[in-house]
Amino acid sequence: MELITQKVKGTEDILPADSYKWQFVEEVMRSQAAFYGFREIRTPVMEHTELFNRSVGDTTDIVQKEMYTFTTKGGDSVTLRPEGTAGAARAVLENGVYNEGYPLKVYYITSCYRYEKNQKGRQREFHQFGMEVYGAPSFYADAEVICAAHSIFERLGLQGIRLELNSIGCPDCRAQYQQALREYFTAHKDALCPTCLSRLERNPMRILDCKSPICSDIAARAPRVLDYICPACQEHFDGVKSCLDAAGVEYTVNPTIVRGLDYYTRTVFEFISDSVGAQGTVCGGGRYDGLMEELGGSPTPSLGFGMGMERLLMAMEAQGIEIDAPDGCDLYIVGLSDQARVKAFQLVQEVRRSSLTAECDIVGRKLKPQMKYANKIKARFCMVLGDDDLAADKAQVKNMVTGDSVTVPLGEGFLDAFFGLHVDSVMSETAKQFGEP
């Protein structure tokens, strides 16, 4: 039979065989966010297009080439979110979350959408973990956000993740840098691609991000932003570095980092892995002190980062970091007759209400296929119920690892008896794991 359709190009299915890996990584992210005092925020998958035009920047590749934008039946221009920061900032402003006091710390785990060339480590639907801080102008905030990202890599056991750091200054000192870039690139404009030519007057810093080999080669010899930042921005950057030094977080200053979004100011950073090929940036972020005002709010110093989930999992797989699969079923109950199946169904519900996992047949299998399925789902214990067992009001529970069987009551006392077996089994396996007799 031929399927009527397949998944959209640039998207991937996360199947049950792999979803536990995502859940593990997400739990690490949530717990680290909690350690640093962050709370979750969830925003809609779509926003008014103006939000991204104003925040991300209409000279960026994202806005010019990559956004999924459509017109609603009501005539509104709506865009699927290409990144998480703008939506989070809009939600904070619209709902007055800033009234809770500063610093305001939020995190999100979300899907994003960009119409890009589909390749390894770059999909059109991708998932992002982000942390955002509002109302914190100090360089201590920059260092804390970077340390929070670093702590996630440590918890996951990732090796060889390089932190690269830069400062792109404030709007005042960056104006001088923009002029220096404009003059430099004007002298090479005959070699620039059409996209970079359109950026030359409006935002020459975007040329530094161009992937064209010719433009990249020209950009490699362009003036460096660190030569133009003002004393206040230099002091801020030095403060970030001193905090990272104190925390023992290694970094390299890379003056070519400008990030791909227009809202960044001062500190920008990237965490890079060599384990995921050309798309090596697994986390990127920085400070964006002008974003909230650009969106209609009061001037509010802000900063944060986005971490790519797919690339993170790719790096873990490349480094051989194994994520333990969830434990199998605690108890599988086989019913041999209609009456026994009803009893099995009842006992399974009792076990589940007691915070253990249990299964019984819901397909209509006979004994052998049920036992085969119990092995497939790695049931720790198995009970076979027949009419004789129901009449005696007791049955045998078999430990599927040791082969030992114990008789337990089917009525009052069943849960206590099974819990005792379960606890003894777990303790025995733990003792073996640590080499205890």
Distance in angstroms (rounded) separating the CA atoms of residues 319 and 370? 38
User: For position 60, what pLDDT does the model report?
Assistant: 64
Q: Between β-strands 381-385 and 331-335, what pairing exists: parallel, antiparallel or unpaired?
A: parallel
Q: For the residues 194-205, what does the mean pLDDT come to?
A: 85
With 70 as the cut, is the pLDDT of residue 437 above it? no
Contacts of 245 (CB under 8 A, 6+ apart): none
User: For position 210, what pLDDT does the model report?
Assistant: 81
Confidence of residue 299 (pLDDT cuts 50, 70, 90): very high
User: For position 63, what pLDDT does the model report?
Assistant: 73
Which of 56-60, 254-258, 327-331, 389-393 is most confident? 389-393
Cβ atoms of residues 269 and 249 within 8 Å: no
User: For position 433, what pLDDT does the model report?
Assistant: 57
- Report CA-CA distances (Å) from 246 to 32, 35, 151, 276, 366: 20, 19, 15, 30, 65
Cβ atoms of residues 107 and 38 within 8 Å: yes
Q: What is the DSSP letter of 119?
A: B
Q: For the residues 391-414, what does the mean pLDDT come to?
A: 93
End-to-end CA distance of the chain: 56
With 70 as the cut, is the pLDDT of residue 422 above it? yes
State the chain's mean pLDDT as an integer: 91
Task: Let me know the angle formed at the C-alpha of 210 by 204 and 215, rounded to the nearest 5 degrees.
Answer: 85
Confidence of residue 307 (pLDDT cuts 50, 70, 90): very high
Distance in angstroms (rounded) separating the CA atoms of residues 258 and 317? 29
The residue among 350, 358, 343, 352 whose CA lies nearest residue 413 is 350
Q: For the residues 324-328, what does the mean pLDDT come to?
A: 87
With 80 as the cut, is the pLDDT of residue 155 above it? yes
Confidence of residue 186 (pLDDT cuts 50, 70, 90): very high
Task: For the sheet with 381-385, list strands across it.
Answer: 358-360, 331-335, 381-385, 394-399, 405-409
* CATH code for residues 331-424: 3.40.50.800
Cβ atoms of residues 29 and 59 within 8 Å: no
User: For position 195, what pLDDT does the model report?
Assistant: 84
Q: For the residues 394-403, what does the mean pLDDT come to?
A: 93
With 70 as the cut, is the pLDDT of residue 340 above it? yes
Confidence of residue 343 (pLDDT cuts 50, 70, 90): very high
For the chain, which residues make up each domain, given as ranges?
A: 16-170+229-318, 331-424
User: For position 61, what pLDDT does the model report?
Assistant: 63
The CATH homologous superfamily to which domain 16-170+229-318 belongs is Bira Bifunctional Protein; Domain 2 (3.30.930.10)
User: For position 428, what pLDDT does the model report?
Assistant: 75
User: For position 400, what pLDDT does the model report?
Assistant: 92
Q: For residue range 104-148, what is the model confidence (pLDDT) as tens digits?
A: 999 999 999 999 877 777 789 999 999 999 999 999 999 999 999
Instruction: Kindly report which listed range (105-114, 174-183, 302-311, 425-434) carries the lowest average pLDDT score.
Output: 425-434
Instruction: Kindly report which listed range (45-49, 204-208, 304-308, 407-411) carries the lowest average pLDDT score.
Output: 204-208
- Tokens 């806005």 belong to which residue? 63
Instruction: Kindly report which listed range (91-105, 177-191, 253-267, 328-342) carries the lowest average pLDDT score.
Output: 253-267
Which residues sit opposite 104 in a β-bridge?
A: 134
Confidence of residue 65 (pLDDT cuts 50, 70, 90): confident
Q: For residue range 254-267, what is the model confidence (pLDDT) as tens digits?
A: 988 876 566 788 99
User: For position 168, what pLDDT does the model report?
Assistant: 92
With 80 as the cut, is the pLDDT of residue 151 above it? yes
Q: For residue range 213-253, what is the model confidence (pLDDT) as tens digits?
A: 899 889 889 999 999 999 999 999 999 999 999 999 999 99
Looking at per-residue pLDDT, the higher value among 241 and 196 belongs to: 241
With 70 as the cut, is the pLDDT of residue 408 above it? yes
Distance in angstroms (rounded) separating the CA atoms of residues 133 and 146? 12
User: For position 279, what pLDDT does the model report?
Assistant: 65
With 70 as the cut, is the pLDDT of residue 282 above it? yes
